[in-house]
Amino acid sequence: MGGTEPGRRAEHFGLPIDAPAVQAALALSAYRAAHRHEDINPADWEQNDKDTQSAAMFEWTGGPNESSPAARYRAYVDAHPHERIDINDGEALEELLAALTASN
């Protein structure tokens, strides 16, 4: 993958796929989509209130008996260690979330 797919960035742009800010942006983006909260800003963790942050991470980590988005993300990172993503690019976040869902 490494930045050649539509919506993904070239190697020198964006954050490494395993950056904590990427996982936070994915958690917030998934929560925003699931609950239709358009006021959530996935690119800026601190801009979102603590309740939203907590709820998003609770859903991201899932329960002990399910394949959580966090576990699918970790598997994706392991398979694509050199990929980078721009967390300000909502389309790129949506594409990555779709890839994680497809791997479920």
pLDDT digits (tens, 9 = 90+) for 49-103: 999 999 999 999 986 656 889 999 999 999 999 999 999 999 999 999 999 888 6
2 within a domain of the structure (yes/no): no
Number of domains in the chain: 1
Domain limits at 98?
15-102
Give the dihedral sign, CA 42/26/4/10: positive
Q: Which residues contact 62 (CB under 8 A, 6 or more apart)?
A: 68, 69, 70, 71
89 within a domain of the structure (yes/no): yes
Q: Which residues contact 9 (CB under 8 A, 6 or more apart)?
A: 3, 84, 85, 86, 89, 92
Q: How confident is the model at residue 38 (pLDDT cuts 50, 70, 90)?
A: confident
Length of the chain: 104
1 within a domain of the structure (yes/no): no
Q: Which two tokens stand for residue 97?
A: 């979330």
The model carries a pTM of: 0.81
Residue 12 vs residue 1, higher pLDDT: 12
